Chain A
């Protein structure tokens, strides 16, 4: 448990998700931010801390009419927002600021006002990976999967089953992009994107945004919504190049960030009621379940096959449908955090009954960075 405690008191996504051609990327940040301010009952002048990825923080502050005295522009891919929560909680506890707004917005499908995502931010990747034909994350972040599958005895059916279960969750979510049930055979007969990955095993490309507002837990009772407390958090990096990842069967980022978050939260895995694992591709939940300690190495595929993560299972996972079925703008981590907060507030479309603790695990880049946040809806001292 954090020394004093920090809570989420505002949370919202953009008014629309999916195809939003009427807003540019910064407009999506703003739409989500205004919705989160309304959710928290706050005005721009109440915000004294700002964290964002993909936009230059001073530009976003000016656009929103904010005058923050603390900013964080950490941009390490899709898990950036988990790191923002980690950093903001520490900043609030240190007294650098009192109320932090974290925003995300990305015109992932329409591409309006989108910050240019170069093939890689690392010139070493441009020099030693890009010439071999990597065409975005679909043929880069996916490369370790075959080694993982050989090591763990996992099959293409096991990858397909991740999609099937998440489509079951998405079917309960009116805002999900892909709600039609799908079978293992249908997944395995779909178009190949980068073998062994078929189209349904790869994330969506959609427009959207999300925002969170954090403040000290001691103030949280004064807000209109049920506060969601941050019980623990962690972050870590591995390599900006997938070819430099030390062991393709396990991600050091997940291991380190999760171990730190669990140690800080002082909880055991059996106490976790709800789980989000960033699923840009179908292999990532398998890594996350094992690297965060929910399953022993090699058991994640069985854990999913035995329906532990499915509706009615003991550890509901990716209950919004995930990046595979709900939405994926490019930096999906914000939507995983939003679903954890909804579950802790008790207002998720596919609500897990009596859920008290939610773990949210994010990956950034090509196994480059990781962030983990553990939430609870119970005030703990």
Chain B
């Protein structure tokens, strides 16, 4: 059973098209400067409709998470993290932290992360996050 994937809407299609190209696309209000997520064609801070799409840095920090042990038929990789990360640009999003052990020791709050895209279908690549490789 394949993973249940997002169904893009007219308001979110730019985000998923960006993911397919390896870009994490956010939106920003041209009036008040607020960067926001999830996508919508107006600013949730000031209700302005003059908004732009921009490509985020892909850098984030780990805000909070659980390590889910309960099986879900379309996932099958439990136990795995279900996390919320704070993007460098400010907005938060849910994701999985991958390419590291799924343990409390390996998953420390505030650790630096970077986006990595998982190819799930012809239309959808999901943004995941992995620990930033230390130089």
Contacts and interface: CB of A to CB of B under 8 A. Distances in A.
B69 A133 contact: no
A242 B8 CA distance: 20
Contact of B84 (A133, A143, A191, A193): A143
A145 interface: yes
17 contacts: A127-B38, A128-B93, A133-B72, A133-B78, A135-B70, A135-B71, A144-B64, A144-B84, A147-B109, A193-B69, A194-B66, A194-B68, A195-B104, A242-B84, A243-B93, A244-B92, A248-B84
Nearest to B6: A127
Contacts of B63: 147, 248
A139 B82 contact: yes
Contacts of B79: 192, 195
Contacts of A248: 63-64, 84
A312 interface: no
Contacts of A138: 68, 70
B66 A127 contact: no
Contact of A123 (B4, B9, B82): B9
B7 A127 contact: yes
B123 to A, nearest CB: 13
Interface string A184-205: 0000000111111100000000
Interface residues of A, number: 35
A143 B4 contact: no
Nearest to B80: A133
Contacts of A193: 69-70
Contacts of A123: 9
Contacts of A242: 84, 94
B12 A127 contact: yes
A49 B7 CA distance: 41
Contacts of A195: 66-67, 69, 79, 104
Given A131-B126, A147-B63, A195-B66, A243 B9 contact: no
Given A123-B9, A147-B109, A242-B84, A133 B64 contact: no
Contact of A143 (B65, B72, B93): B65
Interface of A: 123-124, 126-136, 138-140, 142-147, 150, 191-197, 241-244, 248
A134 B82 contact: yes
B129 to A, nearest CB: 11
**Interface size bracket, B side:** 35 or more
B30 interface: no
Contacts of A133: 68, 72, 75, 77-78, 80, 82, 96
Given A128-B94, A241-B38, 14 more contacts: A127-B8, A127-B9, A127-B12, A128-B38, A131-B126, A132-B82, A133-B75, A133-B77, A134-B82, A139-B68, A143-B66, A144-B64, A195-B104, A243-B92
A132 B109 contact: no
A129 B71 contact: no
Given A127-B38, A242-B84, A248-B64, A194 B95 contact: no
A194 B70 contact: yes
A347 B114 CA distance: 57
Contacts of B68: 133-135, 138-139, 194
A244 B7 CA distance: 19
B49 interface: no
Given A146-B109, A195-B69, A126 B64 contact: no
B70 A136 contact: yes
B53 interface: no
A372 B59 CA distance: 39
Contacts of B70: 135-136, 138-139, 193-194
B66 A196 contact: yes
Contacts of B12: 127
A192 B79 CA distance: 10
Contacts of B67: 192, 194-195
Contacts of B95: 132
B65 to A, nearest CB: 6
A243 to B, nearest CB: 4
Q: Which of B4, B63, B65, B75 has the most CB of A within 10 A?
A: B65
Nearest to B74: A133
Interface string B78-113: 111011100000001111100000001000010000
B5 interface: yes
Contacts of A128: 6, 38, 93-94
